[in-house]
Amino acid sequence: MKIIDGNALAETIKSELRIKVLEATASGKRPPHLAAVLIGDNPASRSYVTNKVKSCQDVGYKSTLIQRPAELSQQAVLDIVHQLNEDPEIDGFIVQLPLPEHIIEMDITLAIRPEKDVDGFHPMNLGLMTLGLPTYLPATPMGIMQMLERYHIDTAGKMCCVIGRSNIVGTPISILLSRKGNPGDATVVMCHSRTPDIKKISSEADILIVALGRPQFVTPDMVKEGAVVIDVGINRIPDPSKKSGFRLVGDVDFERVSPKCNYITPVPGGVGPMTVTSLLLNTWKAYSGEIYPKT
Ligand code: L34
């Protein structure tokens, strides 16, 4: 059993980016600039956005954090988005999800200019992704693709089971892995809440990707011997022995499942840090105009 070390891989990618930033600034250019919008005080969101801002500092990007209370109106959020769209100093920005219930997430996503949508959530960018054209890939699926690639895990012709069908993970990773290419060329089956017998499908999978948000949902009987298991879930469960009062567990029962696996990602230190570095990579693409040439 080998652990796919998301923290180590994230550090490698950040060192590569740091060099590119130094080269750009040495030639007189300004550094890339990412903005993040955080509405409300969801502690998990706050922690993720903090990691994003910190990682910008690590690689020499400029970052701006716009924090507003949960009561902010939909129009006020749209006003922030419009302002960031128009700001020539900002290469890309994200609006951290989930948003408070009174805000219609899709309306916010649609208001972000595709050129600045470094989350890759806008239908324009998701459409380009689906067609296999260059675009910003959503950060979590992109992080998973990088893990598979950098660990030389062969996906071609493999049977892949994705549990979860969210817009930000399950759906895009299913599309990416079934597309032509490497990683890719897998036979993908997507399972969700209406799938009658998930175990029957997951236990046949060479690659199992779990993103449903239920602590330790995947047990050893659901996993094939020698499988590659990618655990996307990050759940906070009460733990009085911790100072914070909680600990993080994935959607996979790591302790019991890992002995059966060829490769497995831990939580924390697996997919999470790769989500953050993928956002940095997309911001570099926005800055350099690789996807949408700057006018
Ligand atoms: N707009 N909303 C938007 N873009 C995103 O890409 C996200 N996502 C998901 C939730 N909402 C979003 C993230 O940023 C999930 N996510 C995310 C980002 C970072 C981490 C986890 C999820 C992360 O850094 N995880 C650490 C532990 C963090 C902690 O201590 O709480 C890890 O080692 O897994």
Could you tell me the distance, in angstroms and rounded to a whole number, from the CA of residue 279 to the centre of ligand 1?
A: 10
26-55 pLDDT per residue, tens: 999 999 999 999 999 999 999 999 999 999
Tokens of 50: 């903090």
Residue 216 annotated as catalytic: no
Decide if 28-113 and 139-273 have a common fold. yes
Mean pLDDT for the stretch of residues 186-212: 98
pLDDT of amino acid 217: 98
pLDDT of amino acid 154: 98
Cβ-contact 241, 235 below 8 angstroms? no
Q: Quick one: pLDDT band at residue 266, thresholds 50, 70, 90?
A: very high
pLDDT of amino acid 295: 76
* Residues annotated within a binding site for NADP(+): 164-166, 234
151-175 pLDDT per residue, tens: 999 999 999 999 999 999 999 999 9
Residue 2 annotated as catalytic: no
79-106 pLDDT per residue, tens: 999 999 999 999 999 999 999 999 999 9
Q: Is the CB of 53 under 6 A from ligand 1?
A: no
Tokens of 7: 């923290």
Q: Quick one: pLDDT band at residue 279, thresholds 50, 70, 90?
A: very high
Determine how many CB atoms are found less than 10 A away from the CB of residue 133. 10
Q: Is 86 helix (H, G, I), strand (E, B) or coil?
A: helix
Mean pLDDT for the stretch of residues 179-208: 97
* Residues annotated within a binding site: 164-166, 234
Q: Is the CB of 231 under 6 A from ligand 1?
A: no
Of 119, 231, 251, 253, catalytic:
119
pLDDT of amino acid 132: 96
Query: What distance in Å separates the CA atoms of residue 285 and residue 119, rounded to the nearest whole number?
Result: 12
Ligand 1 nearest-atom number relative to CA 119: 4
Does an H or E element contain 228, and which? strand 228-231
Q: What is the pTM of this model?
A: 0.98
Q: What is the CATH number of domain 28-113?
A: 3.40.50.10860
Cβ-contact 165, 171 below 8 angstroms? yes
Q: Whose CA is nearest to atom 29 of ligand 1?
A: 47
Query: Where do the structural domains in the chain lie, given as residue ranges?
Result: 28-113, 139-273
The number of angstroms, rounded, from the C-alpha of 254 to the middle of its chain's C-alpha atoms is 20
CATH superfamily of 139-273: NAD(P)-binding Rossmann-like Domain (3.40.50.720)
Is the pLDDT at 294 greater than 90, yes or no? Answer: no
Query: What distance in Å separates the CA atoms of residue 16 and residue 73, rounded to the nearest whole number?
Result: 40
What is the overall mean pLDDT for the chain? 98
Q: Is the CB of 277 under 6 A from ligand 1?
A: no
Q: Is the CB of 119 under 6 A from ligand 1?
A: yes
Q: Whose CA is nearest to atom 23 of ligand 1?
A: 272
Q: Whose CA is nearest to atom 1 of ligand 1?
A: 96
Q: Whose CA is nearest to atom 10 of ligand 1?
A: 97
Query: What distance in Å separates the CA atoms of residue 211 and residue 234, rounded to the nearest whole number?
Result: 9
pLDDT of amino acid 19: 98
Of 96, 116, 216, 251, catalytic:
96
Determine how many CB atoms are found less than 10 A away from the CB of residue 35. 25
Residue 52 annotated as catalytic: yes
Rg (CA), the chain: 19
Does an H or E element contain 68, and which? strand 62-68
Q: Name the pairing type of β-strands 2-3 and 263-264.
A: parallel
pLDDT of amino acid 82: 98
pLDDT of amino acid 144: 98
Residue with tokens 């997919």: 271
Q: Quick one: pLDDT band at residue 262, thresholds 50, 70, 90?
A: very high
The DSSP-derived string for 201-218 is: HHTT-SEEEE-S--TT-B
